[in-house]
Chain A
């Protein structure tokens, strides 16, 4: 018991001493000669192939420059505090740059401000929405509304091909309510809205999950047997809808957003109709490229839009090439 008590006293002592001393700045900066440039990437979680692909591409791009790209991510997308802790750790190491894909924009602001105070440039990847506070050098991501719009325009053409005119019934599968769902579905609806004869049967959340999308789509097909097309805010949900249509013995169009490798295979096999590919690898590469330009003192734009493209059976083979 005594030793434990004395340990507490030591901690208090250390902290008190720290309080009297000047904060920070005794360590050598990471860009001292001989030390490689280190860039920290902080993801929401590495449970989806999207973020894994993005980080791998950034790492490869970094290797070309002789830089070290380090990846940190909490175990699940609800661990807000862990993400903040990770940014803090990168700040303490005085890395040369930090790129963040925040679980929650608001919760990360404090950590961004800390990095700002330490003079470390901060970037945000996979989002073009400005943070409410803190200084971000550049936002790198794709325009989610545009992705939805591309899907909507593509869907309208599919319906025209089927019915001879812009008419038919579409059903929307939404993700968990939030920025991603709003942006993507708004884009889709704006494109569809140009054709008043196309009817939107319903917009139902399926929480980004394949299984849930399958249940929702199966019920929808029972209630409205003549649905022509499912638009899902993510690939996984489009795959769920495709599965439900197969089980119901119906031929409907299914369109998703992501362009994940397994979806590409489904598109090739004719299970899913199309997906708006958002190229996470490109996003990772472009993020590192933007960071390089900033570190080398070149001018960079505040927002960098990364490419997107509709993938269907006509062009899927290009992406499936290794």
Chain B
């Protein structure tokens, strides 16, 4: 019974997304044009990539509020490093140094989160709230509060279209494939679920809780940096204000996708669907020229509905087991 309810919940998200697409397409014929579908996928790529990390964090019953600020800090750091390097060396060096600097910055922020959550230990909410402020402040500091230009080379990669497919889409799908495989078929993935399911019994069964959690937070920081690079490449500039409120969009994608904030339940494919639902709603309402404030109301409603269905499903599942 519980299993059936869980399957129904998953099918429900897919059906909901399909219905949403049908409504949007009926209202706005442009919605189903290939160019628009690619737009939607590129537009969600930033949120969706960071959401892979967030899914891991939430699966361990944690939360990461710092991803928006980390996106800004690592995007600024990477762009600045890329610019500086391009002055001296060849273009490819500027690009690789820029990417490396951004991802390293993101990973260090994530590592900091992980260390504070495990070694002090602080609750994830507090630790990442602190890093959220620190990273945002540093983003303003290193950029002198003004937009940082992204080098042509770094921009070219974000805008590349191998086989006509925008690179951010390919990158997003690749990261989801890896995330899915890692969660399903590696010991790391099993440990993540075990910690979120019951940390005490995970510890007793010999799982290295600290190592796993630190790895999860570090990965999340690094993925937020990748999102930052995609956003910076799309906009050609990185603003220190960028990603304000981004963490809430990322958490929303995970939650709509059916991952439980209590940990231990959910997966990255649900998260991708969650990000898609948000992207489709935003794009559809943009096409219909509906106020952004209405978009917020609609997405807020979807979050509540998704979680309410989860809770009810779990209740039903439990009743069925008795």
Chain A residues in the interface with B (C-beta under 8 A): 1, 3-5, 7-8, 11-12, 14-21, 23-24, 26-27, 40, 46, 70-76, 78-82, 84-86, 88-90, 92-94, 104, 106-107, 109-110, 177
Contact = CB atoms under 8 A, between A and B. Distances in A.
A110 B37 contact: no
A3 B234 contact: no
A81 B289 contact: no
Nearest to A133: B236
Interface stretch (B198-206, B213-221, B269-277, B302-310): B269-277
Chain A CB within 10 Å — which of B164, B239, B245, B289 has the most?
B289
Contact of A19 (B165, B177, B237, B282): B165
Contacts of A76: 244-245
Contacts of B245: 76, 79
Given A7-B14, A18-B164, A88-B39, A104 B239 contact: yes
Given A8-B177, A72-B292, A75-B293, 17 more contacts: A11-B41, A15-B37, A18-B37, A18-B38, A19-B164, A23-B34, A24-B33, A27-B33, A70-B289, A71-B289, A75-B296, A78-B239, A79-B244, A81-B43, A85-B282, A92-B39, A110-B234
Contact of A4 (B38, B177, B231, B273): B273
A15 B35 CA distance: 10
A92 B169 CA distance: 18
Interface of B: 10-11, 14, 28-30, 33-39, 41, 43, 46, 145, 147, 149, 161, 163-165, 169, 173, 176-177, 180, 231, 234-237, 239, 241-242, 244-245, 267, 269-270, 272-273, 282-283, 286-287, 289, 291-293, 296
A92 B33 contact: yes
Contact of B287 (A24, A80, A92): A92
Contacts of A80: 235, 239, 241-242
Contacts of B177: 8
B164 A3 contact: no
A109 to B, nearest CB: 6
Contact of B235 (A16, A72, A74, A81): A81
A101 B180 CA distance: 42
A278 to B, nearest CB: 24
B10 A89 contact: no
Contacts of A89: 36, 39, 283, 286-287
